[in-house]
Structure 1
Amino acid sequence: MLNKQKGILYSCYYQEKLEKEQLVEEHALTYIQSGSIQLFKPDATNVFVEGDIVFLRRNQLAKGEKIPGTNGEPFKSVSIFLT
């Protein structure tokens, strides 16, 4: 489920794992509400878990894997785009 209004995006995924690649067009702050996300860079892999806040730079290709929580909770996050 995606809902993007006025620079805010709420994400909720029930799938076991969701791999995605997309261009980040604006700076964004993302709060991980439940589950975890792995972000892949050429030189490193970063893992962010429930309660973490992630800063994503604009004009950057983001490759990641969204993973639901181990207790059956879906992956949930809220992103605020800084335009």
Structure 2
Amino acid sequence: MKRCPITYKKIAASENYSQRGLHLLSPQLKDLHPLLLSADVMNEIQRALPNWQALLKVSFMSQAMKEKYLALLKKRSERLELFTD
């Protein structure tokens, strides 16, 4: 078993996100392609954003450098696109 990176609920090995996690992002979202980030980065994002929105802005420290990320939810293509400032 693995955990959903949005809700931290246990999910099947074949799933990437829980249905509850997808619904928190958007009620219309049925699937989302996995975001290829390390577990540490995903944990930091989850702590920074208790209430996920369609447009996310995250700021955190990484190796003594402050990086800012902007994530845009693309519902039609079921993807999150990440941008750095």
Do they superpose with TM above 0.5?
Answer: no
Q: Whose relative contact order is higher, 1 or 2, with alpha carbons under 8 Å and at least 6 apart?
A: 1
Q: More helix per residue: 1 or 2?
A: 2
Q: TM-score, normalised by structure 1?
A: 0.30
TM (normalized to structure 2)? 0.29
